[in-house]
Amino acid sequence: MAAELQALAPLDVARIREDFPILARAIRGKPLVYLDSGASAQRPKAVIDAMSGYYERHHANVHRGVHTLSQEATDLFEGAREKVRRFLNAASTREIVFVRGTTEAINLVAQSWGRSRLKPGDEIVITWLEHHANIVPWQMACEQTGAVLKIVPIDRRGVVDHEAYLSMLGPRTKLAAFSHVSNALGTVLPVREMVAAARERGIVTLIDGAQAVPHQAVDVREIGCDFYAFSGHKLFGPTGIGVLYGREAVLAAMPPWQGGGDMILTVSFSGTTYNELPYRFEAGTPDIAGAIGLGAAIDYVDSLGLERIAAWEHELLDYATRRLSAVPGLEIVGTAPDKASLVSFTIEGVHPHDLGTILDAEGIAIRTGHHCAMPVMEFFDLPATARASFAFYNTREEIDVLAAALVRAREMLG
Ligand code: PLP
């Protein structure tokens, strides 16, 4: 795999950076070094233009009007859905539900599928390294139904214990839900194997793909999952838009979640009938510009090629791991053999929040805190970590700037 990736023509990162207007900004008089794409990536001009072009020329409400603008808006909106379908290799656009983001996607499944399927004593299996978005909706569904949450342990590298996972998939397990990539540690989970084991036992699977889709090609049919969730803003698209992929047979058997316009066929006081997929799960006016921006982001990522993106990001990850490991007092948290392009770390004697502030003064944006993964922090007995996360527009020089600033911060505070 590594050799194959190396053989690809490399990305022209200097040119790519010109597509992202924000990367030319100065922060506190220093060139911006943006190492927080894991929290939210930046947008290329193509995405910004697609959204403003839509507002300038095509805006109207979708699905409702016979007039030209409404038809144009509908075509653009549904065109974006088709781009998402292709991006995930889903079988049909009926399987692509537009939502606000990963969080809303998982809540939709927890409330619609979970509340209608779960009974007291049923079990939901998640892992220890989940983002709160893949923990709290299940805790809520458990409170509402009497189901029980089971947590698969991880080891000190941040690798999920596969044997423990298998042993937890029992006769009462109804759902297994896990990240594709951990946002706090960078661990890539073996989702295909995990899904296969669940499916053999008739267990429904949901994958939180928020941190995976910006870094690697995802094929939901190859993975075999029932649900896959991601957010537009981590994929170089807008905030406020995301996707729930649901296998058609599973989605079709689920009750609606929110009620209102667009999700119905007929409404009368003697009864209401619901729309077909995916509209049944899209009540109200959707984020039309957001979906169009997401479609443009997918076109942009496709134009670079996810294989080439993955190859460059692996180089960045290796380089950052080497450079940061050489910083005195720095310890990397999360050392799984298969990692995506982020590095979580602590520096002896320096609180991560102080570090974040010091780096900001040098124009460097990293994330500090619990990364919405408090159980992971608890596992490593840490209040917080600092996290540098990389996208294809980052450079080795930016990692050098980070490493030098970390050495200075340690000298100042450590
Ligand atoms: N899951 C993971 C792994 C994440 O990293 C994030 C965001 O950081 C989310 C879920 C939640 O995404 P959003 O806030 O876009 O809904």
Q: How far is the CA of 38 from the centre of ligand 1 (A)?
A: 9
Q: Please check whether residue 297 lies inside any domain of the structure.
A: yes
Cα 117 to the center of its chain, rounded Å: 26
Residues 233 and 314 in one domain: no
What's the CATH number where 393 sits?
3.90.1150.10
Give the end of a domain, one of 302, 327, 358. Answer: 302
What's the CATH number where 87 sits?
3.40.640.10
Residues 167 and 211 in one domain: yes
Q: What integer is the mean pLDDT of 211-216? A: 97
Residue of 178, 213, 372 to mutate, ligand 1, most atoms within 8 A of C-beta: 372
Give the end of a domain, one of 302, 337, 355. Answer: 302
Residues 257 and 341 in one domain: no
Helices (H), 232-287: 248-252
| Any ligand 1 atom below 6 A from CB of 344 | no
Query: If pLDDT is split at 50, 70 and 90, which confidence band does 8 have?
Result: confident
Q: Please check whether residue 177 lies inside any domain of the structure.
A: yes
Q: How far is the CA of 69 from the centre of ligand 1 (A)?
A: 34
Residues 239 and 339 in one domain: no
**How far, in Å, CA of 290 to CA of 235, rounded?**
12
Model's pTM, two decimal places? Answer: 0.97
Atom of ligand 1 nearest to the CA of 133: 10
Q: Please check whether residue 120 lies inside any domain of the structure.
A: yes
Residues 12 and 88 in one domain: no
Whether residue 236 has pLDDT greater than 70: yes
Which positions are catalytic?
A: 372
Please give the mean pLDDT across all residues of the chain: 96
**How far, in Å, CA of 211 to CA of 268, rounded?**
43
Which range marks the domain in which residue 351 is found? 2-31+305-413
| Any ligand 1 atom below 6 A from CB of 102 | yes
Residue of 102, 180, 191, 374 to mutate, ligand 1, most atoms within 8 A of C-beta: 102
Q: Please check whether residue 38 lies inside any domain of the structure.
A: no
Domain count, the chain: 2
Q: How far is the CA of 113 from the centre of ligand 1 (A)?
A: 20
Query: If pLDDT is split at 50, 70 and 90, which confidence band does 282 have?
Result: very high
Q: For 327-386, write each residue's pLDDT tens digit.
A: 999 999 999 999 999 999 999 999 999 999 999 999 999 999 999 999 999 999 999 999
Output the CA angle 406-412-414, nearest 5 degrees. 80
Torsion of CA 271, 276, 199, 205, to 10 degrees: -80
Q: Please check whether residue 289 lies inside any domain of the structure.
A: yes
Helices (H), 326-390: 352-360, 374-379
HSE-up (13 A, CA, CB side) for residue 136:
11
Provide the sign of the torsion angle of the four alpha carbons 308, 311, 313, 319, taken in this order.
negative
Give residue 9's pLDDT. Answer: 81
Q: What integer is the mean pLDDT of 293-306? A: 98
Q: For 121-169, write each residue's pLDDT tens digit.
A: 999 999 999 999 999 999 999 999 999 999 999 999 999 999 999 999 9
Give residue 65's pLDDT. Answer: 81
Give residue 230's pLDDT. Answer: 98
Q: For 262-271, write each residue's pLDDT tens digit.
A: 999 999 999 9
With H, G, I as helix, E, B as strand and everything else as coil, classify residue 79: helix
Amino acid (one-letter) located at 276? E
Q: What integer is the mean pLDDT of 94-107? A: 98
In this structure, the strands spanning 30-31 and 33-34 are unpaired
**How far, in Å, CA of 310 to CA of 358, rounded?**
30
Whether residue 23 has pLDDT greater than 60: yes
Q: Please check whether residue 171 lies inside any domain of the structure.
A: yes
Whether residue 414 has pLDDT greater than 80: no
Cα 157 to Cα 52, 82, 186, 187, distances in angstroms = 44, 39, 10, 9
| Any ligand 1 atom below 6 A from CB of 389 | no
Q: Residue 22's CB: how many other CB atoms inside 10 A? A: 12
Residues 186 and 292 in one domain: yes
The answer to whether 257 and 111 have CB atoms below 8 angstroms apart is yes
